[in-house]
Amino acid sequence: MIDIKLLRENPEKIIDALQKRGVYGSPKNSEEITAMPYKQLEGMLDIEQLLKLEGERRTRIKEADELKNRRNVVSEEIGKLKQKKQDAAGLIAEMKGVSEKIKELDERLKKIEEDENNFLLIIPNIPHESVPVGKDEAENIKTRKWGEPGQFDFPPLNHWDIGEMLGIIDFDRAAKIAGARFSLMKGMGARLERALMNFMLDTNTSKGYKEIFPPILVNKESMTGTGQLPKFESELFKIGFTKDTIDFLKTKFITVQKNEYETMIDGKKKKEWIHIEAELNRMLGNELYLIPTAEVPVTNIHRDEILNEADLPIYYTAYTPCFRREAGSYGKDTRGLIRQHQFNKVEIVKFVRPENSYEELEKLTRDAEDILQRLGLPYRVITLCTGDMGFSSAKTYDIEVWLPGQDRYREISSCSNFEDFQARRANIRFRREGKKGTEFVHTLNGSSLAIGRTVVAILENYQQKDGSVLIPEALRPYMGVELIK
């Protein structure tokens, strides 16, 4: 979330950021924004509208606070009068009116704050000044390269062919069990997943990352904290009813907010009441989401906490399965392990002081690269441009691994500094030694690495002419074999 004070004082900075990301402008439905800011999800962000909301918010606060002050003062007087057994009927009558007025104002204020907050939640982060300005992935910058793509004296195969030939990946049965974009790993394939997970976790913990094994179902607050919600709900798997279903039911029942029905209790007919809208909201509030990345539960470990300066930096690493709907990528990567609804990943997450978060981003990226180096997989590092960066990120490096079967580099890790964007949403603060007040921490994370894609890289880079696959040396202790054949 962006800082509302920054918006107030330097709106041009926010506008500039949105322009660089290509999402600034007046939406067509501007008259609807106040009521439903999320209607802008696919469109442009009209900052002037937001400023108007903010101005109104402050006016209303002033009005309500003055009345509340009056109520507090007079109520105390009434108390004193009553103790002295004196008459206070006049004051009480007056306060009755004041309280009603306050209630009215508070309701309006609440609505304004909801609208404003909903708006703030869909504004992306401000890119760091070092991020190249560009409109899409074509303008990303190749930052560095490690290793050279290997030369093969035979035509290298795709990983799915290798996997099926070796009998270690079974896509057909995975489709039978679950559907498209799922995989079934068998024998040395399953073993390879497990080996990579342990190898990555061991490597990270040896560098001081604390190992975490978090819940993989999380609530709405956690998803909002890291930025997946409200904007990217369609990317997530959800347990229970979806928002669409609830919204549909609401439109059906909205005219009958209170329903009476008969029920049998102890053999007697009894009338009961139910608030349908309240019930639906409650159902929606109880939903859980499958995590798309360990970033979500791990970053939310410290949600609503005030950390000590001495606790920072905090380094975590976590293995989790990850779940993604991959809506809107129907034609892409339909074969193989590249794009799955469920995949494994080892993640690293950092909570740091603001002044060294960029230094920490470099270190974090190097730590992710180190895994690839130890596995002997050639890669390059890409600095994403403003138009290609994720919603929550201020700066992102993608690491792309060389895949001979596809004759190209493919993303295997994404390392980002979110600055205080997530910390503000998730309310993660720290207190400086000897200073009053609190500050938001900076959060960072990166994959180290996506395990499924690492399997792809190993199969394709280490394939042999006879169809077998050599195991990288660093992995042999975990695999127990040197070769899959």
List residues with catalytic annotation. 324, 339, 411, 414, 453
82 binds RNA (CB under 7 A): yes
Cα–Cα distance for residue pair 348/448, rounded to 1 Å = 7
Q: Which of 6, 10, 32, 79 binds RNA (CB under 7 A)?
A: 79
Q: Is residue 109 a contact residue for RNA (CB under 7 A)?
A: no
**Among residues 61, 212, 283, 301, the one that binds RNA under rule CB under 7 A:** 61
Least distance CB 287 / RNA (angstroms): 12
In the complex, the smallest distance separating the C-beta of residue 409 from RNA, rounded to whole angstroms, is: 42
Candidate list 13, 39, 52, 71; residue touching RNA; CB under 7 A: 71
Q: Which of 41, 177, 178, 306 binds RNA (CB under 7 A)?
A: 306
Q: How far apart are CA 344 and CA 320, in angstroms?
A: 6
Answer for which of 72, 257, 259, 334 binds RNA (CB under 7 A) is 72
How many C-beta atoms lie closer than 10 Å to residue 243's C-beta?
Answer: 15
Q: Which stretch binds RNA (CB under 7 A): 60-68, 207-215, 342-350, 366-374?
A: 60-68
* DSSP character string of 39-81: GGTTS-B-HHHHHHHHHHHHHHHHHHHHHHHHHHHHHHHHHHH
Segment contacting RNA by CB under 7 A, of 42-50, 91-99, 395-403, 447-455:
91-99
* Contacts (CB under 7 A) with RNA, residues 411-430: 429
Angle at 319 between CA 379 and CA 214, to 5 degrees: 145
Cβ-based neighbours of 111, under 8 Å, separated by 6 or more: none
| Site membership for RNA, residue 287 (CB under 7 A) | no
Q: Is the peptide bond before 449 cis (omega within 30 degrees of 0)?
A: yes
- CA-based nearest residue to 441, from 362, 354, 315, 317: 354
Q: Is 257 in the site for RNA (CB under 7 A)?
A: no
Farthest-apart Cα atoms in the chain, separation: 103
What's the CA gap between 119 and 117, in Å, rounded? 5
Report which of 350, 370, 348, 339 is spatially closest to residue 452, judged by C-alpha positions: 339
User: Nearer Cβ to RNA, position 321 or 477?
Assistant: 321
- Specify the stretch interacting with RNA by CB under 7 A; choose among 72-80, 114-122, 162-170, 180-188: 72-80
Closest contact distance (angstroms) between CB of 74 and RNA is 6
Sequence-separated (6 or more) residues with CB below 8 Å from residue 434: none
**Judged by CB under 7 A, does residue 92 bind RNA?**
yes
* 431 touching RNA, by CB under 7 A: yes
**Two structure tokens written together for 472:** 């990288």
Residues 30 and 114: their CA atoms lie apart, in Å, by: 17
From candidates 51, 78, 312, 470, binder to RNA by CB under 7 A: 78
How far is Cα 177 from Cα 115, in angstroms, rounded to an integer?
Answer: 43
Number of residues that bind RNA (CB under 7 A): 37
Residues that bind RNA (CB under 7 A): 4-5, 58, 61-62, 64-66, 68-69, 71-76, 78-80, 82-83, 92, 95-96, 98-99, 103, 110, 282, 285-286, 306, 429, 431, 436-438
